[in-house]
Structure 1
């Protein structure tokens, strides 16, 4: 037992020393550029896009549908993740120091919120997919099951489980590791070597499965089943000529549900494109900490930073995917733009009319004199 603990202590010490002195240079040269350029691009896309999504899904047409309510919560979760990325952006991209703060508490807060929002965003998409699946497979029960209230209740339960799952990150087991070094600024404490090695060797795999692999698998299965079910139903309706018997209200409702499916499908696709490669890479990357540092740590650090940036795009591009994929979403967004424009232009016109009247009055008085 003592031999094992001594070995672990030596490995941990070697890991810290090697990272601190050999990789810090890479952090200054390569990863800084990813944070400065890549994350600037992410924020310019993400924050305006998430705000626009939040406002658009708050429209009565969309928020009265359970899927629309779920997308509102998703926009909030994505925004929280991007806000935590701003902390890394300033620390690793522009060398902003947080040492005046309680760095351990700061690391706990930042990592906890980031991990909670990652899991929340992934599983909200799972709930969205499940909502669409219920509407497809059980159309007669969907009216009572797929309500905004039930959707938000499900999200609430998921968030409680999510926060409990990440609760160890708020304890003294976690804190500042190597401040200023990307991907290692925050980490497990050396005071508990059991948790230290569990975090780096097992917890990372658990995180990948909970934030990527399992949600991606569930969403893929649900989408395939929805597609098959929809195709079979359309064939049956075509044979029975039932499509022509729908009144305008039913047609409008079907159109709304179809557009919601398109929004869900686009969001799931961007999740798979941005998250799955990261998850697979982290699973097959070296698991032994000493080998990781002494062999190809320089390349691994750059790869992890690059993959981290590409994954951040998931939380930034939803609005643009929705605009490209859904006519309904574009229509609702343009309605908001017209409303804003109409509120601005009348004021401009009133000012211009007032100025013209004033100039006319001055000219009239001048002629009389």
Structure 2
């Protein structure tokens, strides 16, 4: 495949054909690295299976970073046919990863290639596209986190602004909820179910969950609303005829910038008489000033108003710079058995990214507007 001459939908089909589950992205990275190198249009750097493609003016100036991820979640049993054999029908491409997030990755790369092939370069600084791995897993390794570590160690310069490619229906997202995962534990007295014991951990946890329903945070973000607490997992007991020694519940807490994690934990501790442990808190809530230059470029190019996102992304690793999350595809189709993306929206995504990139570099005097 000639990656330069092919349509965006054909490149997307090729990327979807790689079953790039988290930690299994190497084959995709190998193919894409060679395909882009063969164009001789972009600088290519590889960090493990993370790829960084750049169009550099070779003049001092800002670095605009585009980022999306190459990994996908495993397909469900409800998939009809092979989810890694993409199909084109009804004006859409169907398959695992079409929406989350190979559609955005395809559009970002095609935008950069189209600009470079036309002879365009930024008048100063550079623009890059980073396709990173292990975004869909909560394990210790994350591709964007690794690139961030290179920035913090001064092995890469820090970007001045970024676009995160995730499905937002091409609306510019400037606020994103964080994810705080908490484990509640209630301890009771284990024993045979046929006998009478006064301390059943299951009843104890039921009382805790009733109290949990009364915890509310009044503060509201204009784009992403209020803190949302959702119990998602219950663990307790191993056999049918014995009371469990303890019961655990996992809370999925979607946070906002105005309410720090410490305040949430304090509220839980004050209201719930049980053990409370933080399982994960690295996905902090993030927000970009609506007057940041990259945000204004994205809003103008898209023709849409700012929105917020209830789901976390690799934006968290760039929370100290202006970021806009924006991409083709509808978020509600992410991870679904019928995941697909409209070809028209994919093509619109290519044009949108091209417009944002060229607008961002169009007036160097505006680059000082980043707060």
On whether the aligned pair clears a TM of 0.5, the verdict is: no
Pick the structure with greater CA Rg. 1
TM-score by length of 1: 0.24
As a proportion of its length, which structure holds more helix? 1
As a proportion of its length, which structure holds more strand? 2
TM-score by length of 2: 0.24
